[in-house]
Chain A
Amino acid sequence: MYGRKVKLRLVFISLILVTLILSVYLIIKSLEENVVYFQSPTEIKALGEINNKKIRVGGMVKKNSILVESKDIKFVITDFKNEIIVIYSGAVPNLFSEGKGVVAEGFLNDRKLLLATKILAKHDENYMPPEVKEALEGK
Chain B
Amino acid sequence: MASLIGYYSLITGLLCSFLIIFFSLNNFNRSDILNKKIVYFTFLQFFLVVVSFFGLILSFVFSDFTNSTVFNHSHTTKPLFYKISGTWGNHEGSLLLWLLVLTLFIFLFLLESKRQPIKYRLLTLLFQQIIIVGFFVFIIKTSNPFSYIFPAPKEGLGLNPILQDPALAIHPPILYLGYVGSSIIFSSALAATTLNYVSKEWAKHVKQWVLVSWIFLTLGILLGSIWAYYELGWGGFWFWDPVENVSLMPWLALTTLLHCILVLEKRLILTSWAIILSIATFTLSMSGTFLVRSGILNSVHTFANDPERGLFILIFLFSLIFLSIFIFLFFHKNENKSKNSFFWFSKETAILINNWFMMYFLSVILIGTIYPIFLEVLSSEKISVGPPFYNKLILPFLIPFLLAMAIGPKLNWIKSDLKNKANLFLFLIISLLLSIFIIRNLSINFLVNTILVTSALYLFFLTLRDFLIMKIKNLSQNLSHFGFSLLILSILFNNIFSSEIITNLKIGESFQSKQFTINFKSVDQKNERNFKAIIGKFEIENNDGTVEVLKPELRIYNQPNIVTSEADIKTNLIRDIFITMNLVQNQEYFNIRYQIKPFMIWIWFSVLIISFGGLISIFKRKHEH
Contact = CB atoms under 8 A, between A and B. Distances in A.
Do A and B share a direct contact in the complex (Cβ within 8 angstroms)?
A: yes
Interface of A: 19, 23, 26-27, 30-31, 33-38, 54, 56, 66-73, 89-98, 120, 122-126, 130-131, 134
B363 to A, nearest CB: 7
B94 interface: no
B232 interface: yes
A36 B383 contact: yes
A55 B160 CA distance: 30
20 contacts: A34-B386, A35-B383, A35-B384, A36-B384, A36-B385, A37-B381, A66-B587, A70-B503, A70-B504, A71-B503, A89-B502, A90-B502, A91-B233, A91-B580, A95-B562, A97-B584, A123-B162, A123-B300, A124-B160, A125-B562
B388 interface: yes
Contact of A38 (B382, B502, B584): B382
B535 to A, nearest CB: 16
Contacts of B160: 123-125
A73 B381 CA distance: 29
A88 B232 CA distance: 19
Interface stretch (B79-87, B194-202, B364-372): B364-372
A100 to B, nearest CB: 9
B541 to A, nearest CB: 19
B323 interface: no
A33 B390 CA distance: 12
Contacts of B300: 120, 122-123
A-B residue pairs, 4 tightest by C-beta: A34-B389, A38-B382, A91-B593, A68-B589
Given A89-B502, A130-B298, A19 B356 contact: yes
B558 to A, nearest CB: 14
B563 A70 contact: no
A131 B382 contact: yes
A84 B185 CA distance: 53
B143 interface: no
B584 A66 contact: yes
Interface string B226-253: 0000001110000000000000000000
B392 interface: yes
A118 B212 CA distance: 39
Interface in B545-592: 560, 562-565, 580, 582, 584-585, 587-589, 591
Contacts of A95: 562-563
B543 interface: no
A37 B234 CA distance: 22
B367 A91 contact: no
